[in-house]
């Protein structure tokens, strides 16, 4: 068996407008592929339990409310470090388990860092999240402050007007500036796909952000009218696959917004496995941005262990 090459962060390359402008997505084909995922029989019993444990490992456990408090964030972090009850862990034969990261606003980085002590990454939403309508100088300063406060991952939002007007150079320059401002912190580019109107725009925005050095591309802020969907996810992961084929760099994918059930998490895991392969089922290349998803996964795992479903309120809320 040959050794796998060491993982390398995505590096910016020159913007290839010729490539970007020729991108077309077959909407009907994307919808058919998405429907095939939704209609197929899901994995069952111990196989489903194993997949759900993998989903837990890939969750960015998130709180992004205007009423967030340090106490809420501390509870979120404790849940992230112990996402399942001890009795379920024992029954499942799992000795240790955490989520992939916690995701908070800038003001909540300090309480998260104080609880986690580096045991899990802290991701901060940035660049005037969720609308992104602030000056570039303000947004770059926000990134710098979040990195200084201890965030090791930065979830930025792109300026949607660059996509809607086809100004790919402006989007590339913006994303390149964000990547440079993040330094050693990994950067996830939120495309806000519900605002981009077409799958062609989604694919082009994904390519431009990857060319500018995005480590992850992410569907949504969770605040748009339409957030993560399977056709959008399919479009983005196929862009990731082709980008890897062209450049050799692996870019991560993060669906976010509306991924609230174990069933939907399994669909995204299946999509990643079938379109990108086993390597993309690890937290350094796949995350699910969610707040309530963990509760449903825990309920499903309790059903597997005991044969009974419990009420959601019996499970600790993140």
Q: Which residues are catalytic?
A: 155, 218, 254
**CB of 245 closer than 8 Å to CB of 234:** no
Query: What's the Rg (C-alpha) of the chain?
Result: 19
Half-sphere exposure of 50 (CA within 13 A, CB side): 7
Q: Which residue has the tokens 């059930």?
A: 261
- CA 155 – CA 85 distance, rounded (Å): 29
């Amino acid at each position: 068996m040959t050794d796998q090459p060491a993982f390398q962060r995505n590096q910016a390359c020159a913007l290839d407008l010729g490539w970007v402008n020729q991108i077309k997505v077959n909407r009907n084909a994307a919808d058919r592929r998405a429907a095939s995922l939704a209609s197929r029989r899901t994995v069952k019993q111990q196989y489903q339990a194993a997949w759900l444990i993998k989903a837990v490992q890939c969750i960015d456990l998130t709180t992004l409310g205007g009423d967030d408090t340090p106490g809420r964030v501390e509870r979120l972090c404790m849940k992230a470090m112990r996402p399942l009850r001890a009795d379920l862990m024992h029954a499942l034969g799992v000795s240790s388990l955490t989520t992939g990261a916690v995701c908070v606003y800038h003001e909540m980085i300090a309480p998260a860092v104080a609880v986690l002590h580096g045991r899990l990454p802290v991701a901060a939403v940035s660049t005037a999240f969720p609308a992104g309508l602030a000056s570039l100088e303000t947004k770059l300063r926000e990134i710098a402050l979040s990195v200084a406060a201890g965030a090791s991952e930065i979830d930025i939002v792109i300026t949607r007007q660059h996509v809607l007007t086809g100004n790919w150079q402006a989007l590339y320059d913006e994303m390149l500036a964000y990547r440079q401002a993040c330094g050693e912190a990994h950067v996830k580019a939120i495309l806000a796909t519900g605002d981009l109107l077409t799958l062609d725009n989604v694919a082009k925005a994904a390519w431009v952000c990857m060319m500018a050095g995005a480590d992850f591309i992410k569907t949504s802020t969770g605040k748009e009218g339409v957030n993560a969907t399977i056709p959008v996810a399919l479009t983005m992961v196929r862009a990731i696959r082709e980008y890897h084929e062209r450049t050799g760099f692996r870019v991560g994918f993060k669906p976010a917004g509306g991924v609230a059930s174990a069933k939907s998490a399994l669909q995204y895991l299946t999509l990643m496995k079938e379109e990108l392969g086993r390597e993309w089922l690890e937290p350094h290349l796949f995350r699910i941005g969610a707040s309530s998803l963990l509760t449903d996964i825990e309920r499903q795992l309790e059903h597997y262990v005991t044969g009974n479903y419990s009420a959601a309120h019996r499970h600790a809320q993140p």
